[in-house]
Structure 1
Amino acid sequence: MFNALKEKEKQIAVIGLGYVGLPLALEFARQFRVIGFDTNADRVAMMQRAEDPSRQLPPDAFAQANILFTADPEVLKQAHFFVVAVPTPVDEYKVPDLKPLQRASEAIGRALKPGDYVVYESTVYPGCTEDDCIPTLEHQSGLTLGSDFKVGYSPERINPGDKQRTLSTILKIVSGNDAEALREISAVYGAIIRAGVYEAPTIKVAEAAKVIENVQRDLNISLMNELSIIFDKMGVDTHEVLKAAGTKWNFLPFTPGLVGGHCIGIDPYYLLYKARQLGYDPQVINSGRRINDGMPAYIATKLAQLFLQRDKNPRQTKVLVMGLTFKENVSDIRNSKVADLVRELMKYAINVHLIDPHASPNEVAQEYRMTLMDTPSTNYDAIIVAVGHDEYKGLDVPYFKSLMNGVPILLDLKGLYSVTAADGIDYWRL
């Protein structure tokens, strides 16, 4: 397979062209012939014009890429090596939603031919590829795994907004359903990943490795969040505590904050789901999720208390929330915990204004039924800086004061600023 791809006798199809799929497709397209497939025709049209819908890649990233962007599933029949990079969200009950993965598998199954390869990159629970995806491929194609086609799993490690650790500079885990599949898949990824590949012994090991990467981060951040709640009750600055503790060589540099997005805030639920299927209810993972999911309500309650301490009725206050995307310097609003924070503030009947230089007003309206303002107003009772966008890092106390009234309150959820009592502003951070 690798030699045929290298000689451009066969081509790769990348299914799902979001944060993960598009950079991968373009990187492949510098070495191989590639089909970039996405079901969203509007997004495909943008990519055909060398525009990244996620606003992460510049136009020159599309230059000299041997790629055909399409929303037509019939075109997939021209491919022989399929890479699946579709979202794997959870539903309103925190149960894995495999519909995008299943639809992708069905489309590939209808295009699958003897000798083809399918590699999944979407984050799943251990066993999902073999138990859920392969049966769909076999049913749709009428082919049999092993004798007719090969399957692998290579978990994505894209870090949105990170300009230093890009796709080709991050070590890539690969796996396959047998030794031949592993060898060929490793060769294909090895052609584009300068950092090299790590060959996992089984597909389940590769799946598990991916999901626990984010479970580990989730748990560490939940510990920081719990510590921030404890230290706040003590009147101790959590960031100063972490700064002091960080002088020890083996202290891990995690900080408190909102945990949203489509990775850290989602992936633990996949492992929780599988563990419960097996009759085990994870205590530590579940506790971490509970703490992190509870932070929006905690912050809203804290602000309401600050208002009451200053004889302000929360129902008569106006608050500016700065930032809605799930992390700094990206446009992705999926599973934004800032949106949850806004809802919690509204439970106190607080009048909330929302701004974000990176988020799409249309997407925010569709996803959350919230309105993004172009520019902030004035006379705010409090401002919450919720996301650490670069545009916010250079702001100073006089700027915040100019937007607020009375005794201004600034909630700095990302710890971006250094404010003292002499500044005449009521400052609080996690």
Structure 2
Amino acid sequence: MYEQLVNKKSKLAVIGLGYVGLPVALAFAKKLKVVAFDINSQRIEMLKKQIDPSGELAAEEFCNTDVVFTDNPDLLKDAQCFIITVPTPVDEHAIPDLSHIFLASETVGKALKKGDYVIFESTVYPGCTEEDCVPVLERVSNLNYIEDFSVGYSPERINPGDKEHTLARNTKVVAGCNEEATEAIARIYKLIVKVGVHKVSSIKVAEAAKVIENTQRDLNIALMNELSIIFDRMGINTYEVLEAAGTKWNFLKFSPGLVGGHCIGVDPYYLTYKAKELGYDAKVILSGRSINDNMGMYVATKLVQQLVKSGKNIAHTRVLIMGATFKENVKDVRNSKVVDIIKELGNFNIAIEVVDPYASPGEFQQAYGLSLTQGPGKDYDAVVVAVCHKPYLELDEEYFKSIMKDNAILVDIKGLYRNRISHIKYITL
């Protein structure tokens, strides 16, 4: 299979062209013939014009690539290796939503032939690939797992907005259904990952590695958020405490903040879901999730309390929220925890305006039914800097004074302006 691919006698297919699938497809397309498939026809048309809908990749990334972008599943029949990179979110009850990966498995199953390989990159719970997805492939293809086709798992490590830890510079964990499959999959990924691959003994181990990478980060941030709540009651600045503690060589440098996005705020629920299926209640992980999921409400409540203390009439206050995406310097608004602040302030009938230099107003409206304002106005009773976008880094106290009323409040969630604000009521985590 490897020789067929590198000699361009067969093709590699990538299913799902979001923030994970597109860079994978383009990286392989510099070495192999690639069929890049997505069910979103509008996305396909943009990609054909060398436009990344996620805003992560520049047009030059599409150059010198042997790739066909398509929403036609019939073109997948030319492929011998399939990489599935579709979203695996959770629903409103924090239950894993596997509908996308099942649909992708059905699509691949219709194109699957004897000797083909299927590699999953989407985040799942340990066991999902072989216990849930492989049966779909078998049913649709009428082929037998291992006997007729091979399956592997290689967790994605794409970090939106991060230009340092790119696909080529990030060690790729790989696992196959047997030793032969693992070796073949490792050879394939070595074509595009400069720092190499890390082979593990089973698909379950690879799945588990993926899901704990972000669970670990989630728990560490949850600890910082809980500390910030405690220190606030003590009148201590959390960031000053962290700076002091950080002078010790083995202190882990995490900071408090909103935890949204597709990884940290989602992946732990895949592990706790599977644990519950096995009769175990993951207390520590769920406690961390509870803290992080409630930070938006905490910030909003804290602001309302300060507005009341400042003598503001809550029903007549105006608040500006700066930043709406799930993290800094990206345009993606999915699973943004800034929305929790907006909704909680809305419960107090506060007039809210939201600005963001990267987010699409249409996507924000579609996702949450909320509007983005084109730019900041004047006379705000409070400003909340919720996301540390690059354009916000150089703003100073004079700027905020120019858009705020007297006796107004600046909420700086990530401590971006710490030690730079002297004459405005200043709040941070």
Using structure 1 for the length normalisation, give the TM-score.
Answer: 0.99
Secondary structure class of the residue paired with 2:353: strand
Alignment of 1:219-238 (within 5 A): 219-238=219-238
Partner residue, 2:295: 295
**Paired letter, 1:69:** F
Secondary structure class of the residue paired with 1:80: strand
- The answer to whether 1:49 aligns with 2:49 is yes
Number of residue equivalences: 429
Secondary structure class of the residue paired with 2:272: helix
- Provide Cα deviations, 1:347-368, integer angstroms capped at 9, x if missing partner: 1111110000111110001000
Q: Retained in 1: the 8 A contact 2:314–2:348?
A: yes
State the shift of 1:419 in Å: 3.9
State the shift of 1:418 in Å: 2.8
Partner residue, 2:390: 390
Secondary structure class of the residue paired with 1:427: strand
**Paired letter, 1:282:** A
Partner residue, 2:334: 334
Aligned equivalents of 2:262, 2:194: Cα separation in 1: 26
Partner residue, 2:245: 245
Q: Retained in 2: the 8 A contact 1:169–1:193?
A: yes
State the shift of 1:34 in Å: 0.3
Moved more, 345-354 or 210-219: 345-354
Aligned equivalents of 2:80, 2:320: Cα separation in 1: 51
Alignment of 1:71-220 (within 5 A): 71-220=71-220
- Provide Cα deviations, 1:109-136, integer angstroms capped at 9, x if missing partner: 0000000000000000000001110000
Partner residue, 1:283: 283
Q: Retained in 2: the 8 A contact 1:217–1:264?
A: yes
Partner residue, 1:31: 31
Runs of 5+ unmatched residues, structure 2: none
Partner residue, 1:343: 343
Runs of 5+ unmatched residues, structure 1: none
- The answer to whether 1:402 aligns with 2:406 is no
- Provide Cα deviations, 1:153-196, integer angstroms capped at 9, x if missing partner: 00000011011111100000000001111010000001110010
Aligned equivalents of 2:175, 2:355: Cα separation in 1: 43
- Provide Cα deviations, 1:21-46, integer angstroms capped at 9, x if missing partner: 00010000011000110111001101
Q: Retained in 2: the 8 A contact 1:412–1:427?
A: yes
Percent same amino acid at aligned positions? Answer: 56
- The answer to whether 1:260 aligns with 2:266 is no
State the shift of 1:420 in Å: 5.8
Partner residue, 2:325: 325
- Provide Cα deviations, 1:297-340, integer angstroms capped at 9, x if missing partner: 11111000001111112221100000010000001111100011
Q: Retained in 2: the 8 A contact 1:324–1:356?
A: yes
- Provide Cα deviations, 1:25-82, integer angstroms capped at 9, x if missing partner: 0000011000110111001101100110000111000000110000111111111100
Q: Retained in 1: the 8 A contact 2:397–2:420?
A: no
Partner residue, 2:359: 359
Q: Retained in 2: the 8 A contact 1:407–1:424?
A: no
Aligned equivalents of 2:154, 2:40: Cα separation in 1: 24
Q: Which aligned segments of 4 or more residues in structure 1 are displaced greater than 6 angstroms?
A: none
Secondary structure class of the residue paired with 2:95: coil
**Paired letter, 1:378:** K
Q: Retained in 1: the 8 A contact 2:396–2:420?
A: no
Aligned equivalents of 1:415, 1:33: Cα separation in 2: 47
Partner residue, 2:427: 428
State the shift of 1:408 in Å: 2.0
State the shift of 1:426 in Å: 0.5
Using structure 2 for the length normalisation, give the TM-score.
Answer: 0.99
CA distance 1:308–1:323, shift in 2 (3 Å): same
Q: Retained in 2: the 8 A contact 1:397–1:419?
A: no
**Paired letter, 1:415:** G
**Paired letter, 1:163:** K
Secondary structure class of the residue paired with 1:275: helix
- The answer to whether 1:5 aligns with 2:8 is no
Secondary structure class of the residue paired with 1:52: coil
Partner residue, 2:60: 60
